[in-house]
Amino acid sequence: MTQVIACIDGTNISPAVCDYAVWASLRFNAQLEFLHVLDKSEYPTESNLSGNIGLGSREALLVELAALDEQRGKLALEQGKLMLDAARQRAIAQGIENPGSRQRHGSLVETLIEMETDIRLLVLGKHEDHLSQHLGSRLENVVRTLHRPILITTASFKAPERVMLAFDGSPTTRKGVEMVASSPLFRGLPCHLVMVGVESDTAREQLAWATSSLEDAGFKTEARIIDGEVERVLCDYRSDHAIDLLIMGAYGHSVIRRFLVGSTTTSVIRNASVPVLLLR
């Protein structure tokens, strides 16, 4: 059974992650599970301090430091359990029946890979302080590794009322159109299709296919072809039309998908004032 998985870490973005996951779970009518992973680099299961310079002969101090490290790990584990319980109670108050929770010690990416077949949608929050120069290693690794839809949230929740799908006519973004058309996640919401590039017969034909696919599924659709630099076009359109959520295909070689590799991806996700749904 596939489900919505929400990763929480106790920071200020966790409530928004919880609320977006609840929103998606209710729209999907899918099970919701909260996940908390204690990173093994920060909370190792075993400590070996014998390599510390000047401490090799001070066994009592080594034992004490190891005990403190173990205690720190236990406190983090207990804090995580309290966070998971708080997230469950928040979800229940919003209408979720029996949300699940899972706590793991290790790597977030490795944990999600193990769970991948059960994930219908992964919900992650972006840490603003970690995005000054890059996406943040864990978030970027998850996006690059996982082949499931990933919703990257902002720090505050707003139920989406208008969504925008970046489209380039490629097989990946055509698949994205089909996923949106067949999914209950955005059912009943206006969908804006934006194609970045020079207007041509081919572009108009591709956009017409995307528009009819969404309209046949019951979506009210507005479609545009806009020439310009990809990031600026998408950001300006999002702002001008009060878009609440941006939908994009992740990775590849077309103009839109190259946009999701390297510094441009970093810039858009970092500067986005709305959540970004990455489709694989």
**56 within domain boundaries:** no
What local confidence, expressed as pLDDT, does residue 180 receive?
93
Task: Identify the pLDDT of residue 141.
Answer: 79
* pLDDT attached to residue 130: 46
133 Cβ contact list (under 8 Å, min separation 6): 266
Whether residues 254 and 202 share a domain: the answer is yes
Residue 262 has pLDDT above 50, yes or no: no
CA separation for the pair 248, 257 (Å, rounded): 8
Instruction: Mark whether 147 and 168 lie in a shared domain.
Output: no
Q: Which domain holds residue 246?
A: 163-279
Rounded to whole angstroms, the Cα distance separating 238 from 163 reads: 9
Contacts of 4 (CB under 8 A, 6+ apart): 21, 24, 25, 28, 30, 31, 32, 33, 120, 121, 123
Q: Give me the pLDDT at residue 203, please.
A: 94
Mean pLDDT of 4-18: 92
| Global confidence as pTM | 0.83
Q: State the pLDDT confidence band at 19, using cuts at 50, 70 and 90.
A: very high
pLDDT tens profile 42-72: 555 555 545 554 545 567 666 666 666 666 6
The pLDDT-based confidence of 132 (bands split at 50, 70, 90) is very low
Q: What is the pLDDT of residue 225?
A: 96
pLDDT above 80 for 140: no
User: Which of the listed residues 90, 122, 153 is the one where a domain comes to its end?
Assistant: 153
Whether 35 contacts 119, CB under 8 Å = no
Q: pLDDT band for position 260 (50/70/90)?
A: very low
pLDDT exceeding 70 applies to what percent of the chain?
A: 76
Instruction: Give a yes or no: residue 104 inside a domain.
Output: yes
**Is 196 in contact with 168 (CB distance < 8 Å)?**
yes
Higher-confidence residue of 29 and 142: namely 29
Shared domain check, 110 and 84: yes
Higher-confidence residue of 47 and 159: namely 159
Task: Identify whether residues 149 and 182 lie together within a single domain.
Answer: no
Average pLDDT over residues 99-108: 91
34 and 121 share a domain?
Answer: yes
Domain total for the chain? 2
Whether residues 170 and 91 share a domain: the answer is no
Using left for φ > 0, alpha for ψ between -120 and 50, and beta otherwise, residue 79 falls in alpha
State pLDDT tens for residues 163-191.
Answer: 999 898 888 789 889 999 999 999 999 99
pLDDT of residue 135 exceeding 50, the answer is: no
Q: With a cut of 80, say whether residue 208 has pLDDT above it.
A: yes
Residue 199's identity, in one-letter code, is E
